[in-house]
Chains A and B, each alone.
Chain A
Amino acid sequence: MRPFEYVSPTTKAQAVSLLASNWGQAEILAGGTDLLALMKDDVVAPKRLVNIKDIRDLTGVTYNAQGLRIGALTNLGDLADDANVRKNYPALSDALIEAASPQIRNMATLGGNLCQRPRCWFFRNGLGLLPKDETGKELVTDGDNRYHAILGNDGPAKFVSPSTIVPILIAYGAKIRVEGPKGKREVPLEKFYVIPKTETEREHDLQPNEIVTEVVLPASTGVKAAHYEVRQKQAFDWPLAVAAVALKMNGSNVQAARVVMGYVAPLPWPSPEAEQVLSGQSIDDDIAQKAADAAVKNAKPLSHNAYKVQLARVSVKRALLKAVSGGAA
């Protein structure tokens, strides 16, 4: 690992002032579970690390009738075990437990999970987010793209969005709050992610001198939700497909549905097509299948990942059936 300057501000304002206005100079250190891996592999080499763990008001979970507020430094383990999360957002708790091994859950923070970099092996080998050869040809298109995107892959970005908990957070209606030199702003979580068009852009909307401060979820009354992921092994692994659903119920019928897929596109991928199929319906095997078919209708697999279309389809179907059979809030 290359040497760097290490600073530990104790307020948000100090932290913001220690960050740089361009990517690459300074990085935010929270749990470090992703950043340190990137630095060991020399994928990123910041000159300064800004440790934000000494900022006190960024940790903790509060719950009331309006919903849930999660401080960005809350670790994934504490969040998964939080009594209010387990009771009112059980699908989030499920997703958190599957997100990493216990040791990583004890270190990794929610904010860090939302800002982690893609798992794309071209990127992790230092070839960039939009890897090209010397003639400008895209490496992923002809290379080993078995884990890459099947949706939203028309542009140069072929990686998949790395967080496994973002889909369920979006399904529950999460908003993310960030703070920077211009003050505070709040963004719906699904608008926080962007597809980079050049190597100097990142895959989220966070500016280089902003920090994520909290995530808020609306109340989950009358919502049935579920998280489902397909992995190569039962114990922790990066998934091949993720589906998250949140169904606002009116009796036994769906009043409004959110269906969000993960690991299929450079963004967390909501499916209005599936949501439309579900609207007003009572969910059974047949409707779940129709919604799942709609969710992958526009998939355009690359040369080695057509299998992921079926995995994404099955994930959506199983998440829907799990939501209605589990009776989860």
Chain B
Amino acid sequence: MKNVTITINGAEQQAQVEPRLLLVHYLREVAGLTGTHIGCETSLCGACTVLMDGRAVKSCTVLAVQADGHKIGTVEGLANGGQLHAIQEGFWEEHGLQCGFCTPGMLMCSHDLLAQHPSPTDSEIREAINGNLCRCTGYEHIVNAVKSAARKMTKRVSARAA
């Protein structure tokens, strides 16, 4: 067993884990955060995407011990109290989800994209989510949702600056 200290959505947590425990299982079973989904477990589908130090990673192909000392962001950390994050609002308003299984991964991947590129082009959005599969095939709406989120976030930043 190994001691790990992982900061999840801003809260530091300590635990003893087996080195072979995957981060996605740590999040769901040890931390009790089941918003991160397990899809393929082979790093193909992207459903398990979380942020590690702000960058999107596939938590089914990261060991919990690799996250020791790092900051992890999950879908549960997006909303602020009752206020949805602009990315979540975008997905809601633009019908960016159908069954919803891929959604947490899509949201977290979009979060990384928008942090790097606040006003992405359509092709940048498509490239950013090319490691995330939506088997409802709702990609058009997902791209629209990310664009909508980008507009909201840019507007809020400029409103704050004014």
Contact between B66 and A102 (Cβ–Cβ < 8 Å)?
Answer: no
A3-B20 in contact (CB<8A) = yes
Are the C-beta atoms of B20 and A33 separated by less than 8 Å? no
Q: Mark A83-106, 1 if CB is under 8 A from B, else 0.
A: 000000000000001001111101
Bound complex: CA of A4 vs CA of B63, how far in Å?
12
- Tell whether A53 is near chain B: CB-to-CB under 8 Å: yes
Contact with A along B1-28 (1 / 0, CB 8 A): 0100000000000000011101000000
Interface size class of A (residues with CB under 8 A): 20 to 34
Fill in one digit per residue for A1-30: 1 if any B CB lies within 8 Å of its CB, else 0.
111111000000000000000000000010
Give the residue name and chain of the A residue nearest to B58 (CB). A103
Q: Judging by beta carbons under 8 Å apart, are A103 and B57 in contact?
A: yes
Secondary structure of the B contact surface, majority rule: mixed
In the assembly, what is the distance between CA of A107 and CA of B46, in Å? 14
Q: List chain A residues, Cβ under 8 A from B132.
A: 101
- Cross-chain contact A106 with B55 (CB below 8 angstroms): yes
A 19-75 contacts with B by CB, 8 A:
29, 32-33, 36-37, 39-40, 49, 51, 53
Known: A40-B42, A51-B65. A102 touches B112 (CB 8 A): yes
B130 located at the interface, meaning its Cβ lies under 8 Å from any Cβ of chain A in the complex: yes
Q: Which residue of chain A has its CB nearest to the CB of B68?
A: A8
Question: Which residue of B61, B128, B131 contacts A37 across the interface (Cβ within 8 Å)?
Answer: B61
CA separation between A104 and B20, bound complex, in Å? 19
Cβ contact within 8 Å between B109 and A6: no
Check A102–B56 contact: CB distance below 8 A.
yes
Residues of A within 8 A of B46 (CB): 101, 103
- In the complex, B49 has a CB within 8 A of chain A: yes
Chain B residues with Cβ under 8 A from A5's Cβ?
A: 19
- Interface pair B61/A235, CB less than 8 Å apart: no
Contacts A3-B20, A40-B41: A104 and B63 contacting too (C-beta < 8 A)? no
